[in-house]
Structure 1
Amino acid sequence: MRVVVVGATGNIGTAVLRRLLDGEEFDQVTGIARRLPREGAGPPYDRVRWHALDVGAPGATAELTSLFAGAAAVIQLAWQIQPSHDRARIRQTNVTGTANVAAATVAASVPMLLVASSVGAYAPGPKDDRVDEDWPVTGVAGSTYSEDKAEVEALLDVLEQEHPQLRVVRVRNGLAFQRSAAAEIARLFIGPLAPLSLLRHGRIPLLPGGKALRVQAVHSDDVAEAYARAILARAHGAFNIAADPVLDAASVGARFHGLAVPTPPALLHAAAALTWTARLQPTEPGWIRLAANCPLMSCHRAEVELGWRPRTDALDAFTELIEGMADGTGDGSAPLRSRPSATARLLAMAGGRLPGHGDPY
């Protein structure tokens, strides 16, 4: 069975490659990315047939159609979070790129399309209960990430109506963590100024707390397992993917010897807006609005229809991420490259490479 993975070099993409190449069910994997893994990058990249392509570029649909021909499934993971100060650039990849992938999947007569959605696609919801896949996917206003995910969900609704023969799967996972993605996640959300090596002490002294600041997470390998199971089960529809426990100041503080400090989301939003506007860190303030409003998800459907269960709990996945951040851990692809030294980061900023600016990021 041949599978094409679009956006195959990032956090989830690398985990998906590992899973597809791990067994005998998938005999050929094609990877598509804007920047290909370096020569000698090692597993899992060295067993993939690679093609360089920007899915949002003009003419991408025709090239994708050729690359998709004969595939049993296409997995669409291509997504940009940065540069956050260039809204047009990230929308070109996220919305236009997904539309191009969908059009090419139909043109190539591929029977199955799996798309990376997110808990971020959901409308605001409860933090003391869990929603299933029928909860509205209209997003959280004020979060560009959520708005793009909601627009992609609407695009997929039209795709299913116009092409009922196509099996469309939407994987709506929580925050996805793994050790080898630590440098990437730090680059995307924290920036070059934070002294992350201090995390080697295993402490996060202060943690913002409150009822609204509760989120779900999952190990990237468990997300990858959901994709593989969906292909093998010939599934269709949406699947929530997350692990317990829910992450909040109390659970994280107990693991990392930190003090939970009740913090209004509005205060965090203001701090993020100020530091983002000043180009001190790359996380636009909509992420705070999203964290405070996204619902908690029930994963019952994935458990019943896919036989999916997380192998790593959310707190262990987060711990793996923090330990990786302390060491600047990365992998052999460009998005997962290791964190450079403090001197190199400061020199890059002095040369105009500011948080939230520049593409490729």
Structure 2
Amino acid sequence: MSPETGLRVVVTGATGNCGTSVVRALGSDPRIGSVLGLARRVPEMTAPKTTWVPVDLARGADEGRLHELFTGADAVVHLAWRFQPTHDPVMTWETNVLGSLRVFETVAAAGVPALVHASSVGAYAPGPKTGQGVDESWPTHGWPDAAYCREKAYLERVLDAYELHHPEIRVVRMRPGFLFKEGSASEQRRIFAGRLLPGPLVRPALLPVVPALEGLRFQVLHTDDAAQAYRLAVLRDVRGAFNLAADPAVDAVVLGELLQAKVVRLPQQAVRTALSAAWRLHLVPASPHLFDAVLRLPLLDTTRARSELDWRPAWSATEAIEEFLRGVRKGSGEPTPPLVGHKVG
């Protein structure tokens, strides 16, 4: 980096929920000179200091091009991830795991000094749902039955070895809770609930009940807050993992208050059986294996991010969910292929 030009940062998966927030956060910082956003499809979106380049990480043919794009970068922020099709784990493995391996190997080959990787709460082994939460030393074995968790955990093992072989590279692993913002509402509805969910239905007083299930307690975060943590990780001389989450932890009571719905205790197995049947019939895209994982994910202790990154979320968990639900009702999106808005109902 020179004082005149600032840092050059490359972001993979730059058109998704987290990517769009990250390129804006980076581009708005005077210490960042340029941002190169990589995605399978070039968006109409503009962001400060950002140039877009089409790259498909699942294609080995793009490896040489990736080396060219990474050369001279001060940091690579790796966000690219494919959630679907959940019925074809081989396809998601090709992008999420094999694509990530290409990124890691190219970072080393191109001499990039810093790699910031998007891990997840989903990488963690089952853990406590109460108390302060687990810190970054909690085992990252994931929930093996869920492809998402299996892939995130596998990449944690890859990075363990990678750091030993490449001590010259500053590796940061971000492990956020569930990320929400209004602009991602249409995409996330498509990913988890499917196109048949009427958006206008998801409003207070129209959903009569919220199921209270054993283990239904999780953490969320506004995507823009997560983006600020990525920005700080690029700029600060830090290494290792960082948990990211906002208060309060979300359970059926919190959801019931947000939706003005009655909380009704339901047997976990009955809900899973219904979800499994709907998934097998391709009525919903979210798999029952991911449902199992969510009920087992531990709560996160974010002390390290707050102390070493000096990071504080600007939105509470409930504010992030309220904004997201507003986006679902409006069919909100952003001008990128993954986040395009689409109102149903």
Q: Same fold (TM over 0.5)?
A: yes
TM-score by length of 1: 0.91
Mapped to 2, the partners of 1:133 and 1:201 lie a distance apart of 36
Please tell me whether the aligned partners of residues 196 and 326 of structure 1 are also in contact (alpha carbons under 8 angstroms).
Answer: yes
Q: How does 1:83-102 map to 2 (within 5 A)?
A: 83-102=85-104
Please tell me whether the aligned partners of residues 206 and 258 of structure 1 are also in contact (alpha carbons under 8 angstroms).
Answer: yes
- Give 2:66's aligned amino acid: L
Greater displacement, 46-55 / 198-207: 198-207
Q: Which residue of 2 aligns with 1:274?
A: 277
TM-score by length of 2: 0.95
**Superposition RMSD in Å:** 1.3
2:25 is the alignment partner of 1:23? no
Q: How does 1:200-239 map to 2 (within 5 A)?
A: 200-201=203-204, 203-239=206-242
Tell me by how many angstroms 1:340 deviates.
5.0
Q: Which residue of 2 aligns with 1:359?
A: none
Mapped to 2, the partners of 1:286 and 1:182 lie a distance apart of 22
Q: Which residue of 1 aligns with 2:51?
A: 49
2:151 is the alignment partner of 1:145? no
Match of 2:105 among 84, 103, 106: 103
Please tell me whether the aligned partners of residues 195 and 344 of structure 2 are also in contact (alpha carbons under 8 angstroms).
Answer: no
Moved over 6 A (4+): none
Please tell me whether the aligned partners of residues 11 and 78 of structure 2 are also in contact (alpha carbons under 8 angstroms).
Answer: yes
2:267 is the alignment partner of 1:264? yes
Q: Which residue of 1 aligns with 2:311?
A: 308
Please tell me whether the aligned partners of residues 204 and 258 of structure 2 are also in contact (alpha carbons under 8 angstroms).
Answer: no
Mapped to 2, the partners of 1:249 and 1:10 lie a distance apart of 28
- Give 2:218's aligned amino acid: V
Task: For residue 114 of structure 1, give the secondary structure of its aligned residue in structure 2.
Answer: strand
Over 3 Å counting, the alpha-carbon distance change for 1:247 and 1:25 in structure 2 is same
| Number of residue-to-residue matches in the alignment | 338
Q: Which residue of 2 aligns with 1:358?
A: none
Mapped to 1, the partners of 2:267 and 2:94 lie a distance apart of 34
Q: Which residue of 1 aligns with 2:115?
A: 113
Please tell me whether the aligned partners of residues 240 and 299 of structure 1 are also in contact (alpha carbons under 8 angstroms).
Answer: yes
| Cα displacement string for residues 261-310 of structure 1 (whole angstroms, at most 9, x for unaligned residues) | 22333322222110010011111111111111010000000011000111
Q: How does 1:1-361 map to 2 (within 5 A)?
A: 1-38=7-44, 41=45, 43-44=46-47, 47-129=49-131, 130-201=133-204, 203-339=206-342
Mapped to 1, the partners of 2:306 and 2:343 lie a distance apart of 40
Please tell me whether the aligned partners of residues 212 and 265 of structure 1 are also in contact (alpha carbons under 8 angstroms).
Answer: no
Tell me by how many angstroms 1:203 deviates.
4.6
Task: For residue 24 of structure 1, give the secondary structure of its aligned residue in structure 2.
Answer: coil
Please tell me whether the aligned partners of residues 114 and 171 of structure 1 are also in contact (alpha carbons under 8 angstroms).
Answer: yes
Please tell me whether the aligned partners of residues 11 and 181 of structure 1 are also in contact (alpha carbons under 8 angstroms).
Answer: yes
Mapped to 1, the partners of 2:271 and 2:84 lie a distance apart of 20
Please tell me whether the aligned partners of residues 265 and 288 of structure 1 are also in contact (alpha carbons under 8 angstroms).
Answer: no
Please tell me whether the aligned partners of residues 202 and 256 of structure 1 are also in contact (alpha carbons under 8 angstroms).
Answer: yes
- Identify unmatched segments of 5+ residues in structure 2: 1-6
- Identify unmatched segments of 5+ residues in structure 1: 343-361
